[in-house]
Structure 1
Amino acid sequence: MSPLTATALIAEDEPLLAEGLRAELAALWPELRIVAMTSHGQAALEAALAQRPEILFLDIRMPGMSGLEAAQALAEDWPEDGRPFPLLVFVTAYDQYALKAFEQAALDYVLKPAQRERLAQTCARLQAALRQRAGSDAGGSAAAAVTQLRQLLAAPGVAQALGLPATAASPLRLLQVSVGNSIVMVPVDEVVYFEAADKYVRVLTAEREYLVRASLRELLPQLDGTRFWQVHRSLVVRAEAIARAERDEAGRLSLALRQRPERLGVSRMYAHLFKGL
């Protein structure tokens, strides 16, 4: 495939903006084939894994899973079969402070509604990146995308600018959990791990399991980040409850727990948390 011929996916929940971006791309880059257009992050994730496009245009704010979360999930789930990870372009409506963070993380962005002059610069950058990939055996890796996304999320003030939940001033100490007709008080110190489960979060202690009607995204900012580590987009573990981290022959990390028999997988996004001294 010629470097100037490529495939792309557009994820945008506003139909007029999605169609406007598609039309501008068609004018600027006729050889670019749009293989899917989706209106929310989960659909973008599923379409990207099925279609394997070379470029993703992701709106940051979409219903359910955001564009940023979809990119993180894709980096976690991208198959290790040698196919290069897609080039990421975020479609945003944010101020220059937030956009500077995208630039520092080497992630391209387009302000919406898309302006042809700025979009032309993005197309030129994408074409240059595709040419570079074509001349390299390495291609683009999911690990490199993970590094970029971590740099973006770590930039000061970016979480607030991107509309992510703010960290609570005082960490949560007690969970009030409905069990039948009772409200059970569960000390957070007794929780071994939290796991996202559809519209609930499973709360696992050494001996019990509870369901909390909340999302992991809502719960995570209320936890002490020094004690509760996110190890996968659906898992948060109390650090003291981890007995050891083990790497298999394929390089995948899993966690053995002190008080539970389960083994928990660690995604690429969070493997950097486990480095021997």
Structure 2
Amino acid sequence: MNNAPIRAVLADDERLMREQLRSRLTEVWPELEIVAEAKNGLEAVELTKEHRPDLVFLDIRMPGLTGVEAARQIAQLPDDDDWLVPEIVFITAYDQYAVEAFEQGVADYVLKPAERERLQLTVARIKKRLAQREGAEGADTGPMPLQQLLHKLSSQMNPAAKPQYLQWIQATVGQAIQMIPVEDVLFFISDEKYTRVQTAKVEALIRKPIKELVDELDPQLFWQIHRSTLVNARAIDGITRDFRGRQLVGVKGLTEKLEVSRSYTHLFKGM
């Protein structure tokens, strides 16, 4: 890793909880630079945009945007050569529903009140992930993509609200409007104005951006591999690398390759 300090944003609607977490982090990770503190989820997203930290601690239950909702928005922020979407650590008092999901996912968790021993484990995990992110293979972040984890957490926080995913896409094909079954879509890819809907037989356009589609499509079926791209997991034909070392997803029946951005290379680790 380079010598730049790891930078973090803390978000919790309880001031005492923020102070306690800051104090504990100072003990177990003294070189960590806490660049900002947020009192709610919306502030957390805005401060993440402003400060571009390596790590964000999110209280899972906050007014305005919950930690899960804030994490969804943070996961959609564009990365570049100088900054990757930050690692997420959730702060929660709800052990029963949280632990199983977090252990499977790309995020980590800290139970309130933050105990020194458990926080030391979190710090060790995050340091390892941040170090691996700088390698060509990306982070070893486990089997569950972030969007899937966030959907799972949402359903556990609101068990009565079962997600209703899109079944059909109303899209423009030439001069006509066509209803396309979602399961027939091979991938979605966006530019500034439109999102391309690609099936084995047709190429169509819609005006809905990727950041909205992410929440409306089944995350088990559609994986986000770039801020502008969702691919049908069943349509993936293989992973290759170009001369610059970028991962490219092959799609069944097509010669076109889809670029995987650095934030999503963990989905294909070992391929």
With the length of structure 2 as denominator, give the TM-score of the two structures. 0.59
Question: Unaligned 5+ residue runs, structure 1?
Answer: 1-5
Deviations 1:57-84 (A, max 9, x none): 124463798354467568x948599x9x
Task: Report how far residue 247 of structure 1 moved.
Answer: 0.7
> Which residue identity is paired with 1:211?
I
CA contact under 8 A between 1:45 and 1:73: conserved in structure 2? no
Task: Report how far residue 268 of structure 1 moved.
Answer: 0.9
> Which residue identity is paired with 2:188?
F
Aligned to 1:109: 109
Matches within 5 A, 1:206-217: 207-213=202-208, 215-217=212-214
Aligned to 1:218: 215
1:235 paired with 2:229, answer yes
Q: Distance in 2 between matches of 1:152 and 1:219?
A: 11
CA 1:183–1:122 in 2, change beyond 3 Å: closer, same or farther? same
Aligned to 1:247: 241
Deviations 1:176-215 (A, max 9, x none): 3479x98532344653421356897542455543215471
Aligned to 1:10: 9
> Which residue identity is paired with 1:140?
A
Q: Distance in 1 between matches of 2:110 and 2:235?
A: 42
Question: Unaligned 5+ residue runs, structure 2?
Answer: none
Q: Distance in 2 between matches of 1:106 and 1:208?
A: 33
CA 1:209–1:45 in 2, change beyond 3 Å: closer, same or farther? farther
Matches within 5 A, 1:69-148: 69=72, 77=79, 88-92=88-92, 94-103=94-103, 108-111=108-111, 114-115=112-113, 118-125=114-121, 129=124, 140-142=131-133, 143-144=138-139, 146-147=141-142
Give the count of matched residue pairs.
Answer: 246
> Which residue identity is paired with 2:56?
L
Larger radius of gyration: 1
Aligned to 1:46: 49
Identical aligned pairs, as a percentage?
27
CA 1:63–1:233 in 2, change beyond 3 Å: closer, same or farther? farther
- RMSD between superposed Cα atoms in Å: 5.2
Helix, strand or coil at the partner of 2:214: helix
CA contact under 8 A between 2:139 and 2:265: conserved in structure 1? no
CA 1:153–1:217 in 2, change beyond 3 Å: closer, same or farther? closer
Helix, strand or coil at the partner of 2:142: helix
With the length of structure 1 as denominator, give the TM-score of the two structures. 0.59
Task: Report how far residue 110 of structure 1 moved.
Answer: 3.2
